[in-house]
């Protein structure tokens, strides 16, 4: 039978002692040695056993948390490779396994944890940083989130490196800043969008003022005014930057424009995959928030809401504070729907822009990595360089269309 993990062919053989592999490969590798099961299966050391009375649920507790660490490692590997990355649904499902333990079962071995805490998980911190969680968005605690690694220079170096390297969120931001059509030359989506919003609000205000019921009329006029102020917050760059400074928005004004344009014209071949990516990024955030929430619920179930965590944190109170928008790395994508307008007001594409968006881009893992790598090393050439490249490849069609639009 073909070995799913290696290059050799699995052969039948006598079972080894102590539960080792029952077969070997032509290269001398077998299932047991390939997976290093001697290390993995001997890593469950029960502290309750050392104290004289084994608590079986401690074994379950260790297994589940070791499984978390393995999944964190896999996710970090996938993020680094810029491939299809998340197995987070499995992380969420792991909580259900822990729910089979009762609070008294947990109490039987909780003291043996001493100061050990999930707060100390290096891989989860690396995962957060690589996705793009900013330090200023973290809930403030008595000590810095990197404090548990202070006595381990090699671990602290990994944390600092993950803070300094471009995160997935930063790379996506730079990529969106290069969205074709948002520059001041050519199609100029943003200018057209502002005009469309102005027309929409004017129509809504007119409809509100024509209402015969004075109470309803007043409510509708006030609602239109509030919507107008809301749109002003994205049209005025200074207001947008002020909201970024307060942590209410994450990305640059140009990246926000790009994400909004992709959302409006998602059916165009060139924007189809970017739109799918935007939705996958929101899935990542959503699943992580679900995991955090499930974690909060099981902590409250096991130790209540007033007891401190084993690592010295406020336990339930701290964890509950992490289930919020401040921990959503891709918050701007969730808020895009606030600024969507009805289809009849969406600015129609010019002939030149239709041509530019008529070519789909299908990326494999390697190509996607190169695209994000380019984003991290570019200085924002933006639309002009891209337009020049397309003009060179199809001068008659692009130039002729641009002249007529």
CA gap 323, 302 in Å, rounded: 18
Q: What pLDDT does 3 receive?
A: 40
Asked if residue 303 is part of any domain, the answer here is yes
Its sign, for the CA torsion 384, 390, 393, 396, is negative
> Is the Cβ–Cβ distance between 118 and 296 less than 8 Å?
no
CA gap 266, 404 in Å, rounded: 24
Q: What pLDDT does 347 receive?
A: 97
335 and 239 in a common domain: yes
> Is the Cβ–Cβ distance between 33 and 22 less than 8 Å?
no
Asked if residue 90 is part of any domain, the answer here is no
Q: Which helix (H) or strand (E) holds 12?
A: strand 11-12
Asked if residue 165 is part of any domain, the answer here is yes
**Residues found in the chain:** 405
Asked if residue 220 is part of any domain, the answer here is yes
312 and 197 in a common domain: yes
Q: Which domain holds residue 28?
A: 11-39
294 and 171 in a common domain: yes
Asked if residue 94 is part of any domain, the answer here is no
- Using the structure block, give the residue that is written with the tokens 């400074």: 245
CA gap 323, 325 in Å, rounded: 7
18 and 121 in a common domain: no
CA gap 351, 179 in Å, rounded: 17
- Using the structure block, give the residue that is written with the tokens 């002009």: 384
The token duo for 227 is 């919507």
Asked if residue 265 is part of any domain, the answer here is yes
349 and 256 in a common domain: yes
Q: What pLDDT, in 10s, does the model give residues 24-46?
A: 445 678 888 888 989 999 999 88
343 and 219 in a common domain: yes
Closest CA to 101 of 48, 72, 67, 62: 62
Reduce the DSSP state of residue 307 to 3 states and report it.
coil
Residue stretches of the chain with pLDDT short of 50: 1-25, 82-87, 363-368, 370-376, 378-405
130 and 32 in a common domain: no
Write the CATH number for 125.
Answer: 1.20.58
Instruction: Give, rounded to a whole angstrom, the gap between the first and last alpha carbons of the chain.
Output: 63
User: Phi-psi category of 315—alpha, beta or left, where left has phi over 0 and alpha has psi -120 to 50?
Assistant: left
Q: What pLDDT does 360 receive?
A: 60
286 and 176 in a common domain: yes
Asked if residue 53 is part of any domain, the answer here is no
171 and 28 in a common domain: no
Q: What pLDDT does 80 receive?
A: 59
369 and 256 in a common domain: yes
305 and 184 in a common domain: yes
Asked if residue 51 is part of any domain, the answer here is no
Which residues, listed in sequence order, are joined to residue 2 by a DSSP beta bridge?
Answer: 9
Q: What is the DSSP string of 290-341?
A: HHHHHHHHHHHHHHTTTSPPTTSS-THHHHHHTSSGGG-TTHHHHGGGGG--
User: What is the number of structural domains in the chain?
Assistant: 2
- Using the structure block, give the residue that is written with the tokens 């970017």: 274
Its sign, for the CA torsion 221, 226, 228, 229, is positive
């Amino acid at each position: 039978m073909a070995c799913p993990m290696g290059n050799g062919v699995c052969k039948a053989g006598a079972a080894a002692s102590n539960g080792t592999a029952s077969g070997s490969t032509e290269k001398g590798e077998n299932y047991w040695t390939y997976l290093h099961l001697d290390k993995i299966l001997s890593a469950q050391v029960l502290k309750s056993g050392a104290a004289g009375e084994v608590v079986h649920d401690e074994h379950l507790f260790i297994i589940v948390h070791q499984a978390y660490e393995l999944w964190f490692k896999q996710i970090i590997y996938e993020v680094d490779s810029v491939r299809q990355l998340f197995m987070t649904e499995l992380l969420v499902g792991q909580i259900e396994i822990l729910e089979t333990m009762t609070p008294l079962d947990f109490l039987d071995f909780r003291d043996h944890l001493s100061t050990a805490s999930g707060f100390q998980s290096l891989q989860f911190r690396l995962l957060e940083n690589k996705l793009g969680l900013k330090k200023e968005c973290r809930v403030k605690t008595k000590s810095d989130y990197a404090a548990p690694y202070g006595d381990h220079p090699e671990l602290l170096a990994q944390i600092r490196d993950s803070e300094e390297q471009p995160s997935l969120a930063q790379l996506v931001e730079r990529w969106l800043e290069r969205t074709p059509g948002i520059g001041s030359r050519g199609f100029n989506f943003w200018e057209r969008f502002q005009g469309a919003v102005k027309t929409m609000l004017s129509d809504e205000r007119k409809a509100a003022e024509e209402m015969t019921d004075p109470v309803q009329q007043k409510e509708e006029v006030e609602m239109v005014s509030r919507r107008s102020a809301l749109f002003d917050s994205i049209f005025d760059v200074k207001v947008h930057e002020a909201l970024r400074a307060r942590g209410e928005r994450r990305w640059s004004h140009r990246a926000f424009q790009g994400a909004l344009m992709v959302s409006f014209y998602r059916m165009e071949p060139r924007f189809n995959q970017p739109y799918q990516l935007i939705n996958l990024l929101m899935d990542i955030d959503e699943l992580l928030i679900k995991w955090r929430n499930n974690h909060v619920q099981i902590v409250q179930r096991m130790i209540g809401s007033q007891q401190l965590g084993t690592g010295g944190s406020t336990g339930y109170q701290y964890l509950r504070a992490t289930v919020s928008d401040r921990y959503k790395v891709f918050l701007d994508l969730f808020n895009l729907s606030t600024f969507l307008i009805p289809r009849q007001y969406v600015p129609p594409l010019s002939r030149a822009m239709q041509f530019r968006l008529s070519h789909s881009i299908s990326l494999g893992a390697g190509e996607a990595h190169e695209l994000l790598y380019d984003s991290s090393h570019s200085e924002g050439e933006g639309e002009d360089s891209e337009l020049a490249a397309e003009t060179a490849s199809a001068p008659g069609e692009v130039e002729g269309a641009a002249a007529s639009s």
